[in-house]
Structure 1
Amino acid sequence: MSAQGEPVLEVRDLVKHFPVHSRGVVRRRVGDVHAVCGVSFDLYADETLGLVGESGSGKTTTARTLLNLERATSGTVSYGGRELTGLSRRQMRPLREELQIVFQDPYASLDPRVTVQEIVAEPLRIHGRYDAAGRAQVRELLRLVGLNPEHGNRFAHEFSGGQRQRIGIARALALRPRIIILDEPVSALDVSIQAGILNLLMDLQSELGLSFLFVAHDLSVMRHVAHRVAVMYLGRIVELAPTHQLFARPSHPYTQALISAIPLPDPRKERARRRIIVEGDVPSPISPPSGCRFRTRCPRFATQLTESERTACVEQTPELADRGTGAPVACHYAQPVRLL
């Protein structure tokens, strides 16, 4: 699929900061956690856009802010030409029918006190769409995600982790949404189970015409499911490219390091491949580095750049723009490299 036509979801300069307060009886605001800082992207019809990065990069916060589960500090999110940021819970309710989410943990995201039938039926009841045919709708949804409709009278704890995630997907599909945000939907599952869930999602996308924002930290998963991939580091998108291009010739040093860490099944290729090592810890999001946020860990910063080039990295924040590589990258000195 190619990104063509009008986007179904437009995100511009999205910012989300969390206040940090001092300890003690009188709690004062002493700073902010810069979780998401100026994120922009488009999501198109029938597309899977991957959002990847290390833990703490801001992926999940971005996903939750898109749905107003977290209130944006600034920036805009538009769906079908309508601005979502700033809407109240009541104003968002009609839009929930078309914007849904599947959470990471299939054990914590399902109510253990009610049956699977009621879990999947809940969105239909909330939006007044559960009628005489409601039970049949739920049975069809369970069948659609590969579960036995006869097991709808069971409780969530009676299912395996993979089956529970299928229940969560069925619940997200109940209102026939256009967009589903998948917040690391397979990271809590065994590798043998992950492939079944990923194949199910791709089949559902093809059959129902869905758009996915797929949040994950595993680039191997993205290579399998995403049409485009946005790489996040410390609250910013540092590279956004079609999946085949990103894996063939990544341009940002951080993306290159992530891809070089993916194990190869061929031992000879694995031994001969080029490794790019990123040393040091991720800086604190309370006080991120000036200029390029990756410069404190960039393997090229200290050894391959001139003094004037390093000064630019320290003083100037690189914008996410096409610098002749064919896709947007936030690096002053982006250089595509073939790794796999």
Structure 2
Amino acid sequence: MKKTAFLTESTEDISINQTQVSLQGISSYAQGWRNKNGEFLNNPTFLVHNRVNVSRVKPLISKEDRAEFAAHKERLKSKGVVLAKYDSKKPFPDYMVVRAAEKSRYFAGGRKLMQRNIRKRLGSRWFSDGVLMTLTYDPKRYTKEEAWRDCNVHLRKLMHTLNTRRFRVEKNSYKYLKAVEEIPEYHFEDANGRKCDAHKKGSHRVRNEAFGYPHLHVFFPGLQFLVRAEDEMSVLWKYGRSGLENKNRVNVASYCCKYVSKLEGWTEESQSYLWYYKKRVYSYSQCYRLPEFVKESPAGEWAFKGVVLFDALKACTYTAPDGKVRFKASLLGGGVVEELSEGMLRCVN
């Protein structure tokens, strides 16, 4: 039996009443909530009125936008980034070309790089107990495009409401890790109608009604409960189903890497939503991030120099700020790029 992450005690820390204010000219913040001493509390709907935190609504994706995403992926396959490494002991710098596909999350090489960065930042041995919150959308009320466009805004409103409650007691916000995945086309159920593994005896395949919709996972490390009653989540998340579950000894880095690796099985349509609406597959609270790296590359480090474009014949055109760079560059995975004429290069294996 799964352990649920609810607190069933009915004790109330603060009794709050909504202030009835009808006077004009009073700010929306003042028309908020008061505690038992008559002091104003933070407005739970402050995020809605704050124009700085609310991103501009982007129009729904069109067929032309999906076609542009397909063209974007093709450009990444033929695009290379030229890096230069300067050394005071050498008269000329060393050059290297890295294919852009090896840095993109839409390709296997880019996903592996993301996983290495996650383990480097979070540590591969960080295990933690906590609460896992799952959120889905009702396909009868929201289209697939609307769900992908608004999922971050809806989650931000939910976290703002939860943090507003927490501020009244703890005076700090929740620390969490968020990941999103595409709901697969099928899942497996046993004879009793419960979800199970595909290899379980007697299991059968069932098509998901919300196939292609976003499925949000939010993990709160070190937390024992999130809300006081089970039906409270249905009020806080009114866009579809929600669930809470206690998890023991979760490898936090592997938790994020799992959803990055699942990108390989995503449909082209769902990947286009990530690209068009600029969604992240995973994110975490700022306290888990390392300090920003220095952007200026010191001596002996690789620095950006230009871009090369490869075609089917392994010929390429080179773009640089000055347009007069002549060099030979070793390709990632073997091969050399050499200059034919000013601004023209070719790949030699």
Higher strand proportion, which one? 2
Rg (Cα) greater in structure = 2
TM-score where L is the length of structure 1:
0.25
Q: Which has the higher contact order (CA 8 A, sep 6+)?
A: 2
